[in-house]
Structure 1
Amino acid sequence: MLENNRGKNTADLPKLAAPSSQGVIVRNAIKSYGVGSRRSTVLDGLDMNVKKGTIYGLLGASGCGKTTLLSCIVGRRSFDSGQVMVLGGPPGTPDSGIPGPRVGYMPQELALYGEFTIKETLQYFGRIYKLEADFVDSQLDFLSKLLDLPPDHRYVKTLSGGQQRRVSFAVALFHEPELLILDEPTVGVDPLLRRSIWDHLVQQSVDHGRTVIITTHYIEEARQADAIGMMRSGRLLAEESPENLLKNYGLPTLEEVFLKLCMGDGSYKVKDAVVNAPISKEKSYTTSQNRLGGHENMAFNYSISQGTVYTINQSSSKSSENIIQDNEVISRRSRTFKMTMPSMHRSAALIHKNFMQTFRNIGMFLFVFLLPALQATIFCLAIGRDPTLLKMAIVNDELDPSEGRICNYTTDCSYFMFSCRYLRFVNNDTIIQVPYPNLSSAIEATRTGEVWGVVHFGQNFTDEIIIRQSDGSASSNETVIGSRIGVTMDFSNQQISVVLQRRLNEAFEDFTNDILRACDYEPTAGNIPVTFLDPVYGKKDSTYTEFMAPGMILTIVYFIAVALTAGVFISERKEGLLDRSLVAGVQMTEVLLAHLVNQFTILLGQTALVFLCMLAVFNIPCEGNLALAVFITLLQGLCGMSFGFLVSSICDSEISAIHLALGSFYPTLLLSGIIWPIEGMTSTWMRSLSYSLPQTYAIEALRSVFARGWSAELPDVYRGILISTGWIFIMLGLSLIVVRVRKHTG
């Protein structure tokens, strides 16, 4: 048996020669999770040997490190220290070809796409492996019979747990790989089918020389394996053929052998694992595995000294020391960040898969597709227009209470009842005039929220205003007070207050022009001598909606893209889907590319609908090149996707991703100049922070195209384009780095 040699002086150990045909070799593997006091060691100096063309059963309780070990073997994680050779090289190197089509991997999770049928699932992996259509069909038929799969038109999500496990197993077997890594494939499978599965694995090993590493909770079924590794607390307690384990320990079942090894392992010293074994000092054993006809012999020699067991293999000329040295060099190289060109057939398979997932739920797809247009519609209907139907109290002391306060006035050149003539020009759509008998009751109505303010005319308003006009600067203070229109308002709502002030001032200007026109004077003579001529850009009566529209377009597109991509990696990673594709040879660059193509296609339609809604339906003006405006918007959509990918790569759960995405929404909304000009920020450091955000320059660029008609040659426009492009590459690069770091740190 191979016993764990951790803590021994490796100089005193016999040299391990490499097998003539290498399968899997693991040396002194250490893997931990967590930091500080919470750090937990999962693999603790583990050694493992798997001969090519054999079945290796890995046994152990849940949490002993089996799944972590397998994920390191297939290249999805890395050991903290130690070495691994798989099919002639470390995982991730050309010598190994793993990850890639040389390995078939069935993880502990289901790792299947629930929206796919059984046939579509196998066809997807067939595209990944670039298999011929005839081979795919024949394998589907063969595996359906072997594993007793349901009809291939059934959706995976409609299958029972046991049926889903069988489909997952079929994916691992599908492309007939050299190495099969199976993490508990027979869980939930009935005994007859379990026997059929094992018979097939034995046949693959014997007839085709395929290597199989299988973990199982059913210890006794591992008797059909060529070798068994019994694992506990991150170490192998024993590594031997089932026959020799039973013979050496003199026990009838493997379960009893495993129990005895575990009971003798309490002190965590290697020699204690065999303290009660029925073997004597200086005795040697040789095990030959000839029980499978035509199988290549697998020889182990064991020398036992003072209760410690070492393993020597004499079938190769190359020493273990050279293998490990080569492995260390290659392992260090493999940890560098390398960018490989995406494969066309794998990228096409991923793109096809993403589109199938998108269109499977047509209701959700339409909701997502139409959501930006719906948000743009709500914005145009709800934001930027002047408030209407605002109640204002009118207290007109010029009216005689005995005559019922009837407001009479003329429209000719007559200086009579100016208060009533003025009120005729007060906009009735904006202001609803509510008459009150006295000032105190009107002010009380303002305090109780019945009206927004009070417009008060003195008893001699018309006479006093005529005297003021004739006396000019010589007017007395009493005349000035008597000729004014007193307005007392509720200023708790600034927007409403500003609108009311503007409407009341506009009404007085119209009233003055009307009097002068009726008396044959120049109507504009009474205006203040500040005249706003035709604007260079925009128009005099532009609305707040037009100011906000460019920022809202980019915000809608940006954050919809963030929302669609923020959970992309998380759901696939949690369900094992991402790992399974990556073990099949898919590169992260290909995953990103496929999602970018899928989301960008949706983004094109969403952007078209948003512009149609804003420009055609609600008449938001665009003075510049529409194609340039669309291009800037699409860049911001890509920027949002990139940020979503970054969020997805950082977070471990959908909830944390949602929190991070939503947490970025309000700072972006408030600091990017969407709802208020950046020039309104009093703090210099806050302005600098604003300009460091991905959206700020893009909003200025789109606003310049919309309102000014500027082209890409001008700085405000091309800065927005360049900075958006830079942010895209920065966030995509960070996403790839984070994914790579997470892989190596576990």
Structure 2
Amino acid sequence: MQKDIEDFKVFVSSHRFASETNSDPGGGVSRGHAVLVRKATKSYGVGRSRSTILDGLDMTVKKGSIYGLLGASGCGKTTLLSCLVGRRSLNSGEILVLGHEPGTPESGVPGPRVGYMPQELALYGDFTIKETLQYFGRIYNLRSAFVDSQLEFLSNLLDLPPSIRYVKTLSGGQQRRVSFAVALFHEPELLILDEPTVGVDPLLRRSIWNHLIRQSVDHGRTVIVTTHYIEEAREANTIGMMRSGRLLAEESPKNLLRNSRRPSLEDAFLKLCMDEINDSDEQSTVVAHCTSNEDGQTSATVQPDDNITTDNSCNQVDIHETDTGRVHHTNGQASSATPADLSNALSNLGIPNKAAKMKRKNHTTNVALPSLQRLGALIRKNYLMTFRNIGIFVFIYLIPAFQAIVFNVTLGHEPMNLKLAIVNDELSSGNTCNYTTECSYSMLSCRYLRYIKKNIIQMPYGNISDALEAGKNGQVWGVIHFGHNFTEEFEIRQSAGDSASLENIIRSRISINMDSSNQQIDVFIEKWLLEAFGDFFKDFMKACQYEPEAGYIPVVFLDPVYGEKDTPFTEFMAPGLIISIVYFMAVSLTAGVFVSERKQGLLDRCLVAGVTMTEILIGQLVNQFSILIGQTTLVFLCMLLAFNIPCHGNLALAVFITFLQGFVGMCFGLLIATLCDNENSALLLSQASFLPFTVISGVCWPIEGMPPYLRNIAYSMPLTYAIESLRCVFARGWGIDRRDVYVGILISIAWILGLLILCLFVIRIRKYAR
């Protein structure tokens, strides 16, 4: 109750209690006011880096009036306006807009009851002026005839360029006028304009202010406007002069000039700032500014204190506690208030009590269903933004196919033109190579070299030392050495069989020294040399009419269960590549578009118009899904048709698994966008995840080759099970009934749901943390 009493005391001591309650006997002070702000405090950071933006600010805006909010850059004007439209929340204090707290269903804020023009341009550059108004018209669910009439009216009022002009082709001043038109055109009850006349010529500025005055006088609309042109605020009914997060004064321009005895508002503002600096070291117990409004009413703006505030030119307000509750005196008349009366008074005066706060809290936790009208507008906007930029559109659709082409052209193929040093000591005695195919033990070293694949370039060397030196210098990948009597020793070994001596076995060997710094090339050369010896020996045995298989080791690899004996490495990597291309393109595009809209103020403007984050997320997902369809189609066409990657299973199932991973990528991109405030951080985070996900998820190398502790991490990645699932479909022809396939599908769905829930959670946390 003590907290409520203090709130009641502050309200009574800082506002025209008597006149307001008498003019609105129904008990709703907020009914006579469009905006009430009490003890608003907003700060950022923690500890020593904590910065206070709003410092116990009080503000009152009467309905149907123009309120000019003045102050230097950084004094908290934009933060205050963001709190009024529900885009930021206070650390402490109360705000009522149109009788309710912003963000509650009853307030209509954010929503169509408020027109908001932010400092940023907050317009879609690839839209025409007409399309811009039509987009917001769909957001507000306005009739097309009304939108067209407003377009014509505002074009004349604001001297807009032709409506078919694209926003990005307009000058800065013209763009500001279009942004102003967006705030005006749905005729809201409350207009909140953050520096609408910046970059506007004086004649047009005069026209804008005349229109605002007509809106206020003729239609009873409330206008809150900030401006750097202090003198133009003379047109406002009330001026709030703001400095360092507090209002120095809140009076009519006429009274402000009279009380300050200054000829201009700029001089009056300067005097107030200097007075505040001079008084900052002296903590006054009472600071009162009493003025007379043009309608004859008096008002007092009092800083909260437990003492009596009295001034001969104002109503006397005396507050003190009694045993039964609180007594307030107005003009010498006293009335008692019990705690129950106090609670009712707080409610009537627009200061929420604890029960009201709990009620509002329950309201804010309600989840509204997405609006089909707004969803349609968002989806249409996303498609227009995508297709308007032809270069970006083509790039987005073709880059995955280009990546697939580059992969298939560069990876998985046998290396070519590998140089090997050949040292054949059989030729040192003047012998020449005999390329006979008969059963003859003559120059078998030359006969063997004929079976080496053409991928290897044979480089003859005279001695082993020169050949080894060439290998050390990187001139050749290895050295093949034949002894002086290789053919004779080989013949003796064949004749002796199991009784061959160790010296004979050593002299009949083909000695090979390899540069094993590149494992893949090492493996290929070793494989080719062994295959060459197998072909050489098989052909020689056949020429001598022996059984060709007699000399082989008693281990044979028959037809494989899946795949082929010489399955290219490309086929192993293809499923992982398809998944990773689609996944990371979805991550980058979704995060980039979302963050870009937020940085330019587009996201805030849509949210103030009543669009929910759920609708924005759905709109982005729908748009990115259509892009995903095209990207996936082109990737599969490149893989299956252009490069003949076999798919032994159901192609529709393979495409479905890929689509799911694309959705996972979109959701991860949205999560990145909700965490990051600019494109650079979003790009860095998305790119930083690329290499770990690619390597650990088994795209390039089997997970079985990882340490056991790393395998658990690998299987926790969003791509791993999906890649294994797609491999089973491609290489093994398995269907959805197999565990390895349906587990990949279920885990992908779980990732989608988990990331979406996490996105909504982060959005909610960040909204209230601002």
TM over 0.5: same fold? yes
Secondary structure of 1:629's match?
A: helix
* Aligned with 2:228 (options 187, 195, 217): 217
Q: CA deviation at 1:57?
A: 1.0
Q: Which runs of 5+ in 2 are unaligned?
A: 22-28, 303-307, 318-328, 331-341
* Aligned with 1:692 (options 716, 728, 734): 716
Secondary structure of 1:37's match?
A: helix
Q: CA deviation at 1:52?
A: 1.3
Q: CA deviation at 1:300?
A: 4.3
* Aligned with 1:381 (options 385, 406, 409): 409
Q: CA deviation at 1:522?
A: 2.1
Q: State the partner residue of 1:647.
A: 672
**Structure 1 position 287 matched with structure 2 position 304:** no
Secondary structure of 2:352's match?
A: helix
Question: Counterpart amino acid of 2:142?
Answer: L
Question: Counterpart amino acid of 1:426?
Answer: I
Secondary structure of 2:426's match?
A: coil
Residues in 2 aligned to 1:11 and 1:425: alpha-carbon distance in whole angstroms: 100
Q: Counterparts of 1:181-196 in structure 2 under 5 Å?
A: 181-196=192-207
Secondary structure of 1:48's match?
A: strand
Moved more, 128-137 or 244-253: 244-253
Q: For the Cα contact (< 8 Å) 1:625–1:709, is it kept in 2? A: yes
Residues in 2 aligned to 1:270 and 1:121: alpha-carbon distance in whole angstroms: 53
**Structure 1 position 325 matched with structure 2 position 336:** no
* Aligned with 2:643 (options 575, 595, 618): 618
Residues in 1 aligned to 2:262 and 2:456: alpha-carbon distance in whole angstroms: 98
Q: CA deviation at 1:504?
A: 0.5
Q: For the Cα contact (< 8 Å) 1:265–1:272, is it kept in 2? A: no
Q: State the partner residue of 1:717.
A: 741
Q: For the Cα contact (< 8 Å) 1:286–1:302, is it kept in 2? A: no
After superposition, the C-alpha distances for 1:109-162 in whole angstroms (9 at most, x for unaligned) are 111111111111111111111111111111111001101111112211121111
* Aligned with 1:305 (options 304, 309, 329): 309
CA change 1:330–1:200 in 2 (3 A) is farther
Q: Counterparts of 1:313-462 in structure 2 under 5 Å?
A: 319-322=345-348, 323-326=350-353, 328-333=357-362, 336=365, 338-402=366-430, 406-428=432-454, 430-462=455-487
Question: Counterpart amino acid of 1:537?
Answer: Y
Q: Counterparts of 1:536-575 in structure 2 under 5 Å?
A: 536-575=561-600
Residues in 1 aligned to 2:359 and 2:126: alpha-carbon distance in whole angstroms: 40
Secondary structure of 2:611's match?
A: coil
CA change 1:235–1:8 in 2 (3 A) is farther
Q: State the partner residue of 1:663.
A: 688
Q: CA deviation at 1:269?
A: 8.3
Q: State the partner residue of 2:615.
A: 590
CA change 1:392–1:302 in 2 (3 A) is closer
**Structure 1 position 113 matched with structure 2 position 113:** no
CA change 1:379–1:19 in 2 (3 A) is closer
Question: Counterpart amino acid of 1:287?
Answer: N
After superposition, the C-alpha distances for 1:377-428 in whole angstroms (9 at most, x for unaligned) are 11111111111111111111222553xx531132122222211111111111
Q: CA deviation at 1:475?
A: 1.2
Question: Counterpart amino acid of 2:628?
Answer: L
Q: Counterparts of 1:235-246 in structure 2 under 5 Å?
A: 235-246=246-257
Q: For the Cα contact (< 8 Å) 1:537–1:707, is it kept in 2? A: yes
Residues in 2 aligned to 1:693 and 1:13: alpha-carbon distance in whole angstroms: 60
**Structure 1 position 85 matched with structure 2 position 96:** yes
Residues in 1 aligned to 2:364 and 2:387: alpha-carbon distance in whole angstroms: 38
Moved more, 24-33 or 644-653: 644-653
Q: CA deviation at 1:72?
A: 0.4
Q: For the Cα contact (< 8 Å) 1:300–1:311, is it kept in 2? A: no
Secondary structure of 1:305's match?
A: coil
Q: State the partner residue of 1:293.
A: none
Q: CA deviation at 1:240?
A: 1.8
Residues in 2 aligned to 1:273 and 1:518: alpha-carbon distance in whole angstroms: 117
Q: State the partner residue of 1:163.
A: 174
Q: Counterparts of 1:97-176 in structure 2 under 5 Å?
A: 97-176=108-187
Q: State the partner residue of 1:494.
A: 519
Q: State the partner residue of 1:729.
A: 753
After superposition, the C-alpha distances for 1:605-643 in whole angstroms (9 at most, x for unaligned) are 110000010011111111111001001111111111111
Q: CA deviation at 1:263?
A: 1.5
Secondary structure of 2:351's match?
A: helix
* Aligned with 2:237 (options 226, 236, 239): 226
Question: Counterpart amino acid of 1:628?
Answer: L
After superposition, the C-alpha distances for 1:423-471 in whole angstroms (9 at most, x for unaligned) are 111111x211122222222112212222111111111111111111222
Residues in 2 aligned to 1:506 and 1:139: alpha-carbon distance in whole angstroms: 82
Q: For the Cα contact (< 8 Å) 1:646–1:731, is it kept in 2? A: yes
Q: State the partner residue of 1:678.
A: 703
Q: State the partner residue of 1:265.
A: 276
Residues in 2 aligned to 1:722 and 1:20: alpha-carbon distance in whole angstroms: 54
Question: Counterpart amino acid of 1:601?
Answer: S
Aligned CA RMSD, in angstroms, stands at: 2.6
Q: State the partner residue of 1:178.
A: 189
Question: Counterpart amino acid of 1:517?
Answer: K
**Structure 1 position 602 matched with structure 2 position 631:** no
Q: State the partner residue of 2:334.
A: none
CA change 1:12–1:400 in 2 (3 A) is closer
Q: CA deviation at 1:584?
A: 0.3
Q: CA deviation at 1:224?
A: 1.4
Calculate percent identity across the aligned residue pairs: 62
Q: CA deviation at 1:514?
A: 0.5
* Aligned with 2:215 (options 183, 200, 204): 204
Q: State the partner residue of 2:38.
A: 27
Residues in 1 aligned to 2:124 and 2:73: alpha-carbon distance in whole angstroms: 26
Q: For the Cα contact (< 8 Å) 1:225–1:241, is it kept in 2? A: yes
Residues in 2 aligned to 1:8 and 1:718: alpha-carbon distance in whole angstroms: 63
Residues in 1 aligned to 2:207 and 2:667: alpha-carbon distance in whole angstroms: 47
Residues in 1 aligned to 2:286 and 2:271: alpha-carbon distance in whole angstroms: 9
Q: For the Cα contact (< 8 Å) 2:189–2:221, is it kept in 1? A: yes
Question: Counterpart amino acid of 1:128?
Answer: I
Moved more, 526-535 or 248-257: 248-257
Q: CA deviation at 1:716?
A: 0.9
CA change 1:374–1:729 in 2 (3 A) is same
CA change 1:157–1:192 in 2 (3 A) is same
Residues in 2 aligned to 1:299 and 1:147: alpha-carbon distance in whole angstroms: 38
Residues in 1 aligned to 2:183 and 2:283: alpha-carbon distance in whole angstroms: 38
Q: For the Cα contact (< 8 Å) 1:632–1:698, is it kept in 2? A: yes
Secondary structure of 2:67's match?
A: strand
Q: For the Cα contact (< 8 Å) 2:255–2:292, is it kept in 1? A: no
Residues in 2 aligned to 1:594 and 1:68: alpha-carbon distance in whole angstroms: 28
Q: State the partner residue of 1:295.
A: none
Q: CA deviation at 1:525?
A: 2.0
Q: For the Cα contact (< 8 Å) 1:264–1:274, is it kept in 2? A: no
Q: Counterparts of 1:57-76 in structure 2 under 5 Å?
A: 57-76=68-87
After superposition, the C-alpha distances for 1:241-288 in whole angstroms (9 at most, x for unaligned) are 22222233333322222222211212448986997x9x8xxxx75424
Residues in 1 aligned to 2:174 and 2:143: alpha-carbon distance in whole angstroms: 26
Q: For the Cα contact (< 8 Å) 2:31–2:99, is it kept in 1? A: no
Residues in 2 aligned to 1:543 and 1:443: alpha-carbon distance in whole angstroms: 32
Q: Which runs of 5+ in 1 are unaligned?
A: 291-297
Secondary structure of 2:442's match?
A: coil
